[in-house]
Chains A and B, each alone.
Chain A
């Protein structure tokens, strides 16, 4: 514990160092540099001790509170702020809506991890070791080799294992995995290193690509509350085969014109190796999976043009929602 007199002792010492320092002029020129260096080091040391002591003193002179009470003595009762000041984060509001739609469509919900390992991020998803496809994800890594996941697919292997029992009961595995993901990217109006995705996983004995397209179209029609035209294009992901990019025609309500297609997510039939690794027999069961960004969905819905607002914490922006 720091005492006040300790601080005054330190200050006195500083004063004497300063006096000593003034003697530099009396020294021969060749000795000055060395002397200056030494005295400066001492001064820095004392200054940082003073800063420490002052900081500690700040915390010493604090009065204790009755933490069991409801207000300070002779103070008014605390009140909540008025409802009109309150707001929910638009990303979270929309994520809740996304989840609600999928729940109504029969999907269980599991939140994605925010720190995971190489096995779940890549190995379990049929990325061969050292494969160039791993580079496309611009992953961060910790000293331990852990990965803040670059996609919610990092949860695929887990949900397949967790819900495998559905198959034994004659039911499909139907799960969505929303969560926060990370990519080592420079931030600008359309890129964030931190963003949200939602993964979908569906496995049954007789599922097919037509059902995948049906479910995705159904979701987007519910989300944008209107009929939509959809389109696909071939893509490549090691964990799906075939792999597709899924697009919707930009909804009219959002100012879309005919032929104006937006890429919404990547999807495909789950690669048999991914099923096999989770202990599901790929000769008996098939599955499909998809994953797409939430941020862009929300920007589109609210007509926002800068993704950086989301993590800004700026209340002039957030109180609009």
Chain B
């Protein structure tokens, strides 16, 4: 939403500087995303009088002498069909920048030039060039009662302006501020003034206009004013209203539409105009009968933008008799569109269910200024008054012939009872009762004092006020949250989160051992799951994923690491060990007692080297062993006997399952050749995947540290058995060994047996 400060100041007295005003709006009302500086947009642009105007033969051009408020006249060549002697026009002086091009990379500067041999000093401007719309049919004409030759255009229309760009999201609950009056009311409150605004409503008398609302939940109130043409609505002069529409990001189009748009910007209440005769024709009964109901599935409607939409059961439709003529709140229908031939109009002013309109918005992709306001939940109190104001704007051409207003369940006044202690208690402030009362009254709240208890009635436009906290918010906000003194409560001692502690320790140790922590996406592609042999159906599938690359939730960490290993081998990084600790989800893990999927904290690790002929398995195993050593967990590596989702990419003949007290906690191994090939990785490649939740459960303390003197011995045995059995034998031989570490495994050429050597530390 865009807010012109000059327009805002029409409704509220602002004694502070613009920058302070913008700061206060930001601090106490809404996020200001940006400020468009238009203070020099209309420099060197003047209102002038065309004193003489002669056709240049054999061209469409006219040679004009214009009065720019000085004694001498200036010569300008003009090609517009509507230029004529005696009119007031807008002149961009040589050197002026065309306003419509101000924000372009190369703004267009008006010069002095010859056209067909005649010198033209500057240009008489059209609405499009002045950035007041798309109209390029002629030059802009100025009402002589508003200005005289030589006046700056910017002075007459207050165009030297700052326009605020407002972040709509932070006003989701404040439909009343989507009109300048509501916005100004808040600004008055923030500045500490009583807000005054009197709409000129005379109060319309409703006649018996047949309106029926199928369900008050979809349409709280539906008001119409029927207008009949009695004269011409002439759009001759540039108006203040045109400039406001342009500054607010809308474009002047046509007098009736412009009037409805202007009132929406003023009050927040969107309006729609139907052609009365067409409306009656669609109904087929010979009279105008309005029905508001939900659409029937499959009903069709052609909208003003010529698109035919197939309606859903959530869409609200306005019907003539029973035939849809408009998609409520979103867009009118083609069949009942007004034209300059329109004899009578039905002016609609209504409120609709924001929930239904939200679905309409999503289903049909309509994001207009009107529906943006409706989906905030416009209050019902002002529908009729706004329609009346619109009729007044059109009074030159139209008069009111009948009025309808269907409001089955009028909104009740919301009253909240609260004490000043409660307000100050939640804010941490010490505001006086008088200050609180005044602050609320400034923006339209009514307050009954009953001793300490304040009975606060919300004004009709504040349908969002229901509970004490809503009142507390008003007080805190209008008086400025920044005036609240920050304090610190006494705190208790926190209990450490053991998983974070565990991960922190792993991070420390892994980086000490030269490994690199990475983070990868939780979302993976179907292709990745297939490459590593995981069952795609076991992954949760995202229905609205950004791309096929991010369509499934990963089952384990290692597959992502293999992808990153490829990236790094390509960089190239010669050797690396990468790891990630993160949550994984799989359908086979089922749901927990809350009914949401069980999760696992998984530790994935991959080691890779571009050139190495040795066996990568043992490097990965060394890192895995270190992890368990770190947490004093004794662990066994045995040939893998099972298949789990995380073990899928691993080659069973070169993979161990990791057991703690006989319980499976993960796998370490090399990958299947087919997997390694599909990732285009070099042969030296291994990894592991470990369940950290289980590691945390088994975590132990260091015990029995022995500080005594030691003696060392190396021992080699020659055997055809595996390493584990050899180790057992050594342990039996040295029952008092403090530590037994590996030295080498050597197999002489042509021998069946291996020489396995150990280094043994013994107590003296």
| A→B interface (CB under 8 Å) | 55-56, 58-59, 61-89, 91-93, 96, 99, 102-111, 113-117, 120, 128-133, 135-136, 140-144, 146, 148, 158, 166, 171-172, 174, 180, 182, 184, 186-187, 193-194, 202, 204, 206-211, 213-218, 230-236, 241-245, 269, 271-272, 286, 310-311, 313-316, 318-319
With A210-B427, A241-B469 already in contact, the answer to whether A231 and B482 are too (CB < 8 A) is yes
Besides A99-B497, A193-B546, A210-B428, 20 more A-B contacts (Cβ < 8 Å) are: A62-B654, A65-B670, A68-B656, A71-B614, A73-B747, A74-B746, A88-B511, A114-B522, A115-B596, A142-B553, A194-B521, A194-B523, A208-B425, A209-B428, A211-B486, A234-B29, A242-B472, A242-B473, A310-B519, A319-B516
With A67-B669, A242-B469, A272-B467 already in contact, the answer to whether A86 and B512 are too (CB < 8 A) is yes
Q: Are the CB atoms of B573 and A245 closer together than 8 Å?
A: no
- Chain B residues with CB under 8 Å of A130's CB are 355, 358-359
* Chain A CB within 10 A, most for which of B482, B677, B746: B482
* B233-241, B285-293, B334-342, B499-507 - interface stretch: B499-507
Distance from B717 Cβ to chain A, minimum over Cβ atoms (Å): 14
Q: Are the CB atoms of A315 and B516 closer together than 8 Å?
A: yes
Q: Are the CB atoms of A74 and B599 closer together than 8 Å?
A: no
- CB of B575 within 8 Å of the partner chain: yes
With A86-B512, A209-B484 already in contact, the answer to whether A242 and B639 are too (CB < 8 A) is no
- Chain B residues with CB under 8 Å of A72's CB are 614-615, 617-618, 745
A-B contact pairs, 29 of them (CB 8 A): A55-B677, A56-B674, A62-B672, A64-B653, A65-B617, A67-B621, A68-B637, A70-B742, A70-B745, A75-B615, A75-B745, A78-B618, A80-B626, A88-B517, A92-B519, A111-B497, A115-B597, A130-B355, A132-B375, A174-B491, A186-B546, A193-B523, A208-B428, A209-B427, A232-B27, A233-B26, A235-B170, A236-B174, A313-B520
Q: Are the CB atoms of A311 and B512 closer together than 8 Å?
A: no
Could you tell me which residues of chain B, from 211 to 238, have a CB within 8 Å of some CB in chain A? none
When C-beta atoms are compared, the residue in chain A nearest to B171 turns out to be A236
Q: Are the CB atoms of B618 and A70 closer together than 8 Å?
A: yes
- CB of B702 within 8 Å of the partner chain: no
- Chain A residues with CB under 8 Å of B656's CB are 67-68
- Chain A residues with CB under 8 Å of B362's CB are 135
The complex places the Cα of A110 from the Cα of B498 at a distance, in Å, of 10
- CB of B16 within 8 Å of the partner chain: no
- Chain A residues with CB under 8 Å of B523's CB are 148, 182, 193-194
Closest 4 CB pairs of A and B: A210-B428, A81-B514, A106-B491, A313-B564
Q: Are the CB atoms of B722 and A68 closer together than 8 Å?
A: yes
Partner of B497, one of A110, A158, A314: A110
Q: Are the CB atoms of B550 and A193 closer together than 8 Å?
A: yes
Q: Are the CB atoms of B567 and A313 closer together than 8 Å?
A: yes
The complex places the Cα of A202 from the Cα of B518 at a distance, in Å, of 32
- Chain A residues with CB under 8 Å of B744's CB are 71, 77
- CB of B60 within 8 Å of the partner chain: no
Main secondary structure of the interface of B (DSSP, over half): mixed
Q: Are the CB atoms of A234 and B513 closer together than 8 Å?
A: no
With A72-B618, A146-B597 already in contact, the answer to whether A244 and B489 are too (CB < 8 A) is no
- Chain B residues with CB under 8 Å of A68's CB are 637-638, 656, 722-724, 727
With A92-B517, A193-B550, A315-B568 already in contact, the answer to whether A211 and B481 are too (CB < 8 A) is no
- Chain B residues with CB under 8 Å of A96's CB are 500, 504, 507
Q: Are the CB atoms of A269 and B615 closer together than 8 Å?
A: no
- CB of B462 within 8 Å of the partner chain: no
Distance from B670 Cβ to chain A, minimum over Cβ atoms (Å): 8
- Chain A residues with CB under 8 Å of B761's CB are none
- Chain B residues with CB under 8 Å of A204's CB are 489
When C-beta atoms are compared, the residue in chain B nearest to A82 turns out to be B514
* Chain A CB within 10 A, most for which of B27, B563, B668: B27
When C-beta atoms are compared, the residue in chain A nearest to B354 turns out to be A132
The complex places the Cα of A131 from the Cα of B375 at a distance, in Å, of 9
The complex places the Cα of A140 from the Cα of B550 at a distance, in Å, of 11
- CB of B610 within 8 Å of the partner chain: no
Q: Are the CB atoms of B723 and A66 closer together than 8 Å?
A: yes
Partner of B485, one of A82, A86, A210, A245: A210
The complex places the Cα of A311 from the Cα of B523 at a distance, in Å, of 12
Q: Are the CB atoms of A91 and B484 closer together than 8 Å?
A: no
- CB of B576 within 8 Å of the partner chain: yes
* Chain A CB within 10 A, most for which of B355, B486, B508: B486
Partner of B511, one of A87, A141, A241, A313: A87
With A108-B495, A142-B542, A313-B578 already in contact, the answer to whether A115 and B655 are too (CB < 8 A) is no
- CB of B623 within 8 Å of the partner chain: yes
Could you tell me which residues of chain B, from 138 to 191, have a CB within 8 Å of some CB in chain A? 169-174
